[in-house]
A and B are shown apart, each in its own frame.
Chain A
Amino acid sequence: MDLLSNPLGIHERALQARAQRMELIAQNIANADTPQYKARDLDFKQVMNQELGQPIRATNAKHYAIAETTDSNAVKFRVPFNTSFDANTVEMSIEQGNYGKAAANYQATLSFLESRVSGIRKALKGE
């Protein structure tokens, strides 16, 4: 039990990565009208791989498959579905969807953290 050495587990780093992803998508939305701007996104799996020190693998036939990535930089350019006249690759509806999803993911990680915090609180109080 790593209650005192690492009380929040991987969720602490996960929350930072979630927030970084939201920041990148906010940058995309801010630059929706900037000529030549290339939309970027964070490869969450790669961040977690670096953090865990070992690749996330599907070890059971019922696990969902995860897309494989090879290069080391977790921030990547988005591949647009359509081209635009000013060479901008931000597609607003895609970014809106991703931002909403990233916000939901952030809340999910927050919920994990909340349960960790309340668990530690209970353990300390001896309830």
Chain B
Amino acid sequence: MSIGNIFGIAGTALNAQLVRMNATASNLANAGTAAGTEAEAFKAKRTVFKALVDDNLTNAGAPYVGGVKIDRMQDDASPIKPIFDPSHPLANAEGYIFPSNVNEVTEMVEMMASSRSYQNNVEVVNTAKQLMMRTLELTRS
């Protein structure tokens, strides 16, 4: 039943885009955090998507074969720029604090992109639903 599979496929995409939006929200919430060392500083989280095309990744014949999943979360590689602020309670011996590497503009773009992708998949579900209802009514009248 191919039309039915569309719901599963679009569902995996809605799920993945929601995780991506959650990561963006977490990044924005932690944009202002600072730390005493570079290792402890907050790094923006990025989601890496993976297609469920291979049957090894899912059960063969599952209604969501061909969908998408979150492969892993990855730290953003952009460098952390230390700030000289000796009065800060977390400042190290040299007087530096290490803020997060979150770029608000990048996060806003990421949020809009995931929101648009989410909407696209909602539309896919809506169209498939309408067609399925029409197919069900084939023998009526």
Listed in ascending order, the chain A residues whose CB lies under 8 Å from chain B are: 15-16, 19-20, 22-24, 26-27, 29-35, 37, 92, 96, 99-100, 103, 106-107, 110, 113-114, 117-118
Q: How far is the CA of A34 from the CA of B49 in the complex (A)?
A: 5
**Contact count A vs B, C-beta below 8 Å:** 86
User: Which residues from A are CB-within-8-Å of B20?
Assistant: 33
Q: How far is the CA of A78 from the CA of B120 in the complex (A)?
A: 19
| Extra A-B contacts (4), CB below 8 Å, given A23-B6, A27-B9, A30-B9 | A31-B13, A33-B114, A96-B120, A103-B131
Interface of A is mostly: helix
Q: How many residues of B contact A (CB 8 A)?
A: 34
User: Which residues from A are CB-within-8-Å of B67?
Assistant: 27, 30-31
**Contact among A23, A26, A100, A110 for B135, CB-based, below 8 A:** A110
Contact call B131/A107, Cβ cutoff below 8 A: yes
Listed in ascending order, the chain B residues whose CB lies under 8 Å from chain A are: 1-3, 5-6, 9-10, 12-13, 16-17, 20, 48-51, 53, 66-68, 113-114, 117, 120-121, 124, 127-128, 131, 134-135, 138-139, 141
Beta-carbon nearest neighbor of A95 in chain B: B120
Q: How far is the CA of A20 from the CA of B54 in the complex (A)?
A: 18
Q: 27 pairs across A/B with beta carbons < 8 Å?
A: A15-B135, A20-B2, A22-B2, A22-B6, A23-B3, A26-B66, A27-B51, A29-B13, A29-B124, A30-B12, A30-B66, A30-B67, A30-B124, A31-B13, A31-B67, A33-B16, A33-B20, A33-B68, A33-B114, A34-B49, A34-B50, A34-B68, A37-B51, A103-B127, A103-B131, A107-B134, A114-B138
